[in-house]
Structure 1
């Protein structure tokens, strides 16, 4: 098997923090943010040209949403995630799927192994995005397709709601939670993500925005962060129960901006969907 020389490089502080954040969070994610992250899946699979007979790879498979949709299209799917609980969740969601524990930029596959490779909100969680994309290209056959999503920054109002509540409560980022190294970061806009794929050698790169309103009840939206999911979950819980309570009070007031029918919130979100050929 051909493997990338990136596998010999040490894990970044950002990567180590991500492993800490997501350890044991599969069930909480599935109950809260999984439905949010499912919205771009049809467009993601379309961009990667996933269809009957495709040999596909779902990188950062989470609780199996993308893999399940790809199998429903008739694709033969492999799936990987750095968090063991997510791999187990994907296996439960998609019986018989070939799922394993692996993290970017170190995938356990030969060169040119797949027709289509997708990563739904996985580049947000790796310390070296450029190397991660180069690895996705390595395992994609010539003429195959790669498609990835990330959150746009600055975020849409729905994305920033809990962060605003945390800021109102005086909560700040924990000292142990590092930002991406400046040399590895990139603008989280269509031009920035497209340039990243161009640099990785993809052909015919496009990067449209995907905008939608995520609708859910206030308690469900709050629950993901309260249970420690993502960087915002670490901010929210950084000062213990007192800080969480203060942020919840601010959150309840801010929710009035997003009230929809039947007590639910309508939360605007914007993602970037970049895709290109290998």
Structure 2
């Protein structure tokens, strides 16, 4: 069995940092708001539904679900994220816990949403199976994944800049591919095996809003655990080169808006029905 201890340690310690939690909430706000709406649509959230929002983070999906009248329970392993979520969505219930092994009974919820959380599961297949366990038969799941390497937008630009300008000796602990499930060939078999049917993939043209071109580097460095770990270990000259490259891409390819820049951060929503 592959040892994922270092990956789990990086994730748990990173997201436990209140500064990282707040950095994600602020830096990725615009994109996560759009995705929250699409996730809520995908599970048909409404006044008669009980929804589990896994990896609830700062509560952006929970807030949208709650606004639609759903009874929402949010779960996250990060106390820092739970604190942000509780402040943002007082009508929802939040629990600190492990998505790999939840205390909820079988068939507890009508729907499950996961906003960009599946790549943080040490074992995505096991995590999706656990989500299926607590979801009633016929209930819906919807989760989101950022498009990564090779995509036209923030994450693709980051991968490109680090690949060209970063120190190749700087690596991350072995863990699940954060962007693998944007491809149907990877997503459908895993989701089906976990206990779901009617798998659908929906492209979402989400965007980040940046006050300054240099803010794109900071969004990753201060609000994304894997990226922060990768960028933080770079020599200063390499960090500066990556920052400059991302700023140049933002100036040349971003859209000027309200004194700042809109940068594409495309994502994919995967939805399915519990068998």
Q: Which of 23, 31, 42 is the aligned partner of 2:26?
A: 31
CA distance in 1: counterparts of 2:83 and 2:169, whole angstroms: 30
Q: Partner residue of 2:46? A: 51
CA distance in 1 between partners of 2:138 and 2:160 (Å): 44
Q: Structure 2: how far apart are the matches of 1:269 and 1:252?
A: 15
Contact 2:25 2:223 in 1 (8 A): no
Per-residue Cα deviation, 1:132-188 (whole angstroms, up to 9, x for no partner)? 11000000112211111112344522122233333343334734522338xx99554
Post-superposition CA distance 1:191-250 (Å, at most 9, x none): 321221111121222122223444433243222223262322222111354432232233
Partner residue in 1 for 2:64:
69
Select which of 3, 14, 30 maps to 2:7.
14
In structure 2, C-alpha distance between the alignment counterparts of 1:187 and 1:170, rounded to whole Å: 26
Matched-pair contact (CA < 8 Å) for 2:216–2:247? no
Q: Secondary structure at the match of 1:207?
A: strand
TM-score by length of 2: 0.87
Q: 1:78-89 alignment to 2 at 5 Å?
A: 78-89=73-84
The match for 1:236 is 231
**Aligned equivalent of 1:251, options 246, 252, 259:** 246
1:39 partner SS: helix
Q: Structure 1 153/28 Cα, relative in aligned 2: closer, same or farther at 3 Å? A: closer
Contact 1:165/1:254 (8 A) holds in 2: no
Given that residues 79 and 99 in structure 1 are in contact (C-alpha distance below 8 angstroms), is that contact kept between their aligned partners in structure 2? Answer: yes
Which residue does 1:202 correspond to in 2?
Answer: 196
Question: Closer, same or farther in 2 for the Cα pair 1:176/1:193, shift >3 Å?
Answer: closer
* Conservation of the 8 A alpha-carbon contact between 2:198 and 2:273: yes
Provide the residue aligned with 1:94 in structure 2: 89
Q: Distance in 2 between matches of 1:102 and 1:256?
A: 41
What does residue 157 of structure 2 align with?
Answer: 161
Residue 75 (structure 1) shift: 0.7
Q: Which runs of 5+ in 1 are unaligned?
A: 1-9
Residues 6-62 of structure 1: CA deviation (Å, up to 9, x unaligned): xxxx96443222113322121111121233222221121111121012111100011
User: Higher mean Cα deviation, 232-241 or 143-152?
Assistant: 232-241
Contact 2:59 2:84 (C-alpha < 8 Å) held by counterparts = yes
Cα-Cα RMSD: 2.5
Report the CA distance shift for 1:17/1:137 in structure 2 as closer, same or farther (over 3 A). same
Gaps of 5+ in 2: none
